[in-house]
Amino acid sequence: MSEPRTYVIIGGVAGGMSAATRLRRLDEHARIVVLERGEHVSFANCGLPYHVGGVIERREALVLQTPAALGARFGLDVRVRTEAIAIDRERREVVVRDLDSGERQRIAYDALVLSPGASPVRIPIPGVERGLALRDLADMDAIIERAADARRVVVAGGGFIGLELAENLRHRGLEVTVVELLPQLLRPFDVEMAHLVAERLRDHGVDVRLGTALSAIETDHVVLDAGAETLPADLVILSVGVRPDSQLAKDAGLELDARGYIVVDEHQRTSDPAIYAVGDAALKQRFEGPATPVWLAGLANRHGRLAADAIAGRAHPAAPAFGTAVIGVFGLTAAVVGRTERELREEGRAIRVIHTHPSDHAGYYPGATTLALKLIVDAETDRILGAQAVGENGADKRIDVIATAMAGGLTGRQLADLELAYAPQFASAKDPINMLGYVDDNLIDGEPSVQWHELDARLAEGWRLIDVRTVAEHAAGAIPGSELMPLDELRQHAESLRGQRVIVHCKVGQRGHTAASLLRQYGVEAANLDGGYTTWAAGTAALAAATTTTTTTASTTR
């Protein structure tokens, strides 16, 4: 019988522990050593904000596995409070240090898995040491302790963790301000979709400051935009991004990209064939474009398993990462997959964009709520490039369906043919996913469509804007320059519009489609405003909110 192999995993939590337990299932006789610098090797880091707010009541619920339990079930040698300080690639040894005793040791390995994660960015401003960040249980405990004596909190950063903390600190009854350097929250979304989340935060008493720089942290206040404004603050949370914990890999001479992320192949193998890397510190191959960091627990788990499979001789390539993510804020769900319209237009890609606003289930069944859906497809191939959904119910379900469709190579048009579960309390007979496919089918067949951000340019070219909603709807809010011609009366106006160029709009786009189809048959060059008044209102409000904030200065960078 051959000598048992030794596998060393540096870093626990999602990626490291998935690799360790998978290796045990594939190799019962191997020696598997897990080194974790912190006090906990397996905890639910995505649940940390919710214990801060008391939604998850018991702290112990966040500790998923202990070293003793992992040793008993999987035979793992788990060492917490133990730091890997060097990798000797030539001798295939890891130099480790016990953080309590200071004792050093060398551990030989046949294969090494790096899962060091990423650390919160500490922005270079005066008083940054006064701010707290959230990465592990100790950070969570510190935030809870400070929050107990606080009344006013400033959260710097409008990403997923920042907004989850803002919501949960608000649940504790604190006054919360979110300060975001960008002109929108949630960069993985487009501005008109992220605006819906910002409005929900404001509706629940959170002060949202966009395009605003945090310039300094003082004992009882923060300084914004290089002194343009100060805000009182008893507690400051820093959630402005992360950087990879890749110094160990760098010192070992492994290949890193320009940002310090560890370069891996499709099997999670680094530039050293005996060393693998998974989790937040490792690059992921996106389904579109170059490899990028993707900070998602699901990918860390999946790639930990893939690394273990490769080590055990069962290698199969990692699937492209779509970046599928979801967040809940005060009862509103926002979910996303793939690329944004912003990114693709910056790249000069030819794309089609579709906005719809369906009910999450049949409108006649009690409790129906409105979804905002966005689909982005390649204008030439109809390949689905991205999607976003925001609503109180059903947003996550629809994005999961689209993510699955993307993985299966379905086109936008083929969404119309998906056979999805239907009963009035769960969906509509024409599911919102099917409706996206129908709209795309119409666009492919030549129906003109205008995006909300293109409207002003079209009107400047001489197009007329026709509002086909009711008199009451128009009176409640109208696009400047629009002419009211309700859909049910439109045939009476059709002849007078013959030969003209018009953009029609309704509330969400469906009546606009009917109006445009009607007018084209009367010889009118008619285009439909995509997503109707609802999308236009959200987009223009988002731009207005961004442009009315203080101009960002060069004194603060992220």
**Amino acid, single-letter form, for residue 162:** G
Residues 65-82: tens digit of each pLDDT: 889 999 999 999 999 999
- Core vs surface per residue 88-101: b (16+ CB within 10 A) or e: eeeebbbebbeeee
Mean pLDDT of all residues in 321-341? 97
Q: Please report, for residues 2, 18, 31, 72, 505, the alpha-carbon distance to residue 75 in angstroms, rounded to integers and kept in the order given.
A: 19, 14, 8, 6, 65
Mean pLDDT of all residues in 160-173? 97
- Name the pLDDT band for 554 (thresholds 50, 70, 90): very low
* Cβ proximity of 249 and 300 under 8 Å: no
- Name the pLDDT band for 208 (thresholds 50, 70, 90): very high
Rounded CA-CA distance 218/358 in Å is: 47
Whether residue 46 lies in the annotated active site: yes
Tell whether the model's pLDDT for residue 548 goes beyond 80: no
**Structure pTM?**
0.93
Rounded CA-CA distance 496/147 in Å is: 65
Instruction: Please classify residue 381 by burial: count the beta carbons closer than 10 Å to its beta carbon, then call 0-12 exposed, 13-18 middle and 19+ buried.
Output: exposed
Give me the domains of the chain, ranges plus CATH numbers.
6-118+243-311 (3.50.50.60), 452-529 (3.40.250.10)
Of residues 26, 46, 80, 326, which has the active-site annotation?
A: 46
pLDDT attached to residue 311? 98
- What is the distance between the terminal CA atoms of the chain, rounded to a whole angstrom? 55
The DSSP element (H or E) to which 111 belongs, if any, is strand 111-114
**DSSP assignment letter at 359:** B
- Partners of residue 388 on adjacent β-strands: 336, 374
**Amino acid, single-letter form, for residue 120:** P
In sequence order, what are the residues at sequence separation of 6 or more whose Cβ sits closer than 8 angstroms to the Cβ of residue 280?
Answer: 15, 117, 118, 242, 244, 293, 295, 300
Listed in sequence order, the DSSP H helices in 124-218 are 137-147, 160-171, 191-203
* Cβ proximity of 309 and 288 under 8 Å: no
pLDDT attached to residue 558? 28
Residues of the chain above pLDDT 90, percent = 91
Q: Can you read off the two tokens belonging to residue 54?
A: 């008391």
Tell whether the model's pLDDT for residue 449 goes beyond 80: yes
